[in-house]
């Protein structure tokens, strides 16, 4: 998938997920926000969206889409109190004004929670990615995400990983091969799985998961381009690199499995090419945000 295709799918996902979020809040189309109806429909307001903790910003397009779906009567300016414009991927500090929203008070109140849900979740993914990346910045290792994403928000979370400085692994099941234990068993072994994969789609990136050094040798012989070292010890990773370096197939090596902030540096220092971390997208804690509304 190229960058243009990714952007097209991301744009579609933003519209779709914002629509779903508002449909959830309003229990279907056409239902009112009965609490917002306490306020006169002609009332206008100004709101400020504030971060309560430091991190990496991500999700501005989702905020804009939520209020666009509620009508074109809300304007958003992504600027700090000093006039500095903020954008996805920017570091933000605690108690920083992220944006100012102006428009219909009912729309602001109705869209507030959905908009912040997206922004706090995607900013959390970007922030978590930056934290992991900082731990391995002294190495040449690349940090990868996984497909362990929130259903329906695959492209958003992958985008958030890139905003945090990480690199996207495959986006979906048709982009590249990732042959894992169950595939290998179903195919009758590593060699058979790799040979069939090459025959079926020779143009696709060929990655396979291995669980020990013997399987690593089989994967190298089978012409795998990337080999995932699943739950290898540090010593076995180092041995795997030596075996790969002495082989004619200079496949890239990817470490994976129960990797945390406290362990990732040592893993990167072994010399593996990639480390994939599911925690970037599945073990996140939403960023603390708040919105303050002043009626006009």
Within a domain: 212: yes
The pLDDT, as a whole number, for residue 81 is 64
Told to judge if 204 belongs to the known catalytic residues of this protein, a careful annotator would answer no
**Does residue 18 lie in a domain region?**
yes
User: Looking at residues 148-157, what average pLDDT do you find?
Assistant: 95
Statement to judge: residues 113 and 171 lie in one domain:
no
What integer best gives the mean pLDDT of the chain? 95
Map residue 236 onto helix, strand or coil: helix
**Known active-site residue 209:** yes
Statement to judge: residues 194 and 276 lie in one domain: yes
Q: 235 with 255, same domain?
A: yes
Residue of 25, 33, 175, 230 marked catalytic: 230
Catalytic residue, from 113, 181, 214, 266: name it. 113
> Is 143 a member of any domain?
yes
Residue 33 token pair? 């926000």
Q: At residue 232, what are phi and psi to the nearest 5 degrees?
A: -75, 145
Tens of pLDDT, residues 94-145: 999 999 999 999 999 999 999 999 999 999 999 999 999 999 999 999 999 9
Q: What is the pLDDT of residues 236-277, one digit of tens each?
A: 999 999 999 999 999 999 999 989 999 999 999 999 999 999
Which residue in 88, 207, 209, 254 is the catalytic one? 209
Query: Does residue 222 share a domain with residue 205?
Result: yes
Domains in the chain, number = 2
Looking at the structure, tell me whether residues 60 and 180 fall in a common domain.
no
Catalytic-residue membership of 147: no
Model pLDDT, residue 2: 82
How many percent of the chain have pLDDT more than 90? 90
Given a contact cutoff of 8 angstroms between Cβ atoms, the answer to whether 188 and 152 are in contact is no
Mention every residue, 6+ apart, whose C-beta is less than 8 A from residue 158. Answer: 6, 145, 149, 168, 171
Same domain, 273 and 156: yes
Please check whether residues 193 and 64 belong to one and the same domain: no
256 and 146 share one domain: yes
Asked if residue 15 has pLDDT above 70, the reply is yes
Residues 216, 210: contact at Cβ < 8 Å? yes
Write the CATH number for 291.
3.90.1170.20
- Tell me which of 102, 180, 223, 252 is the catalytic residue: 180
Residues 94 and 30 in one domain: yes
Rounded to whole angstroms, the Cα distance separating 180 from 219 reads 12
The CATH number of whichever domain residue 196 belongs to comes to 3.20.20.70
End-to-end CA distance of the chain: 48
Told to judge if 52 belongs to the known catalytic residues of this protein, a careful annotator would answer no
pLDDT for the residue 84: 77
Residue-level pLDDT at 118: 98
For the record, the structure tokens of 75 come out as: 């304007």
Q: How confident is the model at residue 173 (pLDDT cuts 50, 70, 90)?
A: very high
In a domain, 1, yes or no: no
For residues 141 and 277, state if they share a domain: yes
Ramachandran bin of 224, using left for φ above 0, alpha for ψ from -120 to 50, beta for the remaining angles: beta
Task: Provide the token pair at 180.
Answer: 């894992």
Q: Which domain holds residue 84?
A: 6-130+284-295
Task: Give the whole-number percent of the chain exceeding pLDDT 70.
Answer: 98
Average pLDDT over residues 173-185: 95
Residues 278 and 167 in one domain: yes
Interval 221-248 mean pLDDT: 97
Closest CA to 231 of 211, 251, 205, 254: 211
Which pTM was predicted? 0.93
- Specify whether 51 is located in the same domain as 79: yes
Q: Is 15 a catalytic residue?
A: no
């Amino acid at each position: 998938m190229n960058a243009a295709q990714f952007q097209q799918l991301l744009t579609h996902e933003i519209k779709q997920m914002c629509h779903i979020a508002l449909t959830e809040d309003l229990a279907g189309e056409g239902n009112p926000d009965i609490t917002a109806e306490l306020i006169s429909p002609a009332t206008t307001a100004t709101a400020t969206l504030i971060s309560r903790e430091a991190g990496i910003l991500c999700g501005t397009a989702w905020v804009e889409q939520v209020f666009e779906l509620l009508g074109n009567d809300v304007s958003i300016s992504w600027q700090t109190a000093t006039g500095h414009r903020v954008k996805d991927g920017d570091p933000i500090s605690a108690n920083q004004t992220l944006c100012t929203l102006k428009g219909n008070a009912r729309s602001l109140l109705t869209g507030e929670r959905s908009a912040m849900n997206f922004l706090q979740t995607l900013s959390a993914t970007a922030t978590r990615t930056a934290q992991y990346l900082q731990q391995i910045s002294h190495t040449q290792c690349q940090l990868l995400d996984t497909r362990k994403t929130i259903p329906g928000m695959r492209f958003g979370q992958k985008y958030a990983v890139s905003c945090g400085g990480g690199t996207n692994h495959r986006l979906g099941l048709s982009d590249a091969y990732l042959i894992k234990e169950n595939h290998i068993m179903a195919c009758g072994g590593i060699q058979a799985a790799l040979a069939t994969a090459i025959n079926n789609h020779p143009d696709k990136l060929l990655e396979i998961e291995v669980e020990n050094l013997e399987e690593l040798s089989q994967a190298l012989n089978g012409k795998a381009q990337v080999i995932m070292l699943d739950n290898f010890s540090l010593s076995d990773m180092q041995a795997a690199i030596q075996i790969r370096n002495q082989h004619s197939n200079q496949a890239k090596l990817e470490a994976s499995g129960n990797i945390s902030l406290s362990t990732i540096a040592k893993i990167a220092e072994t010399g593996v090419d990639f480390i994939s971390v599911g925690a970037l997208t599945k073990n996140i804690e939403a960023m603390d945000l708040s919105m303050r509304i002043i009626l006009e």
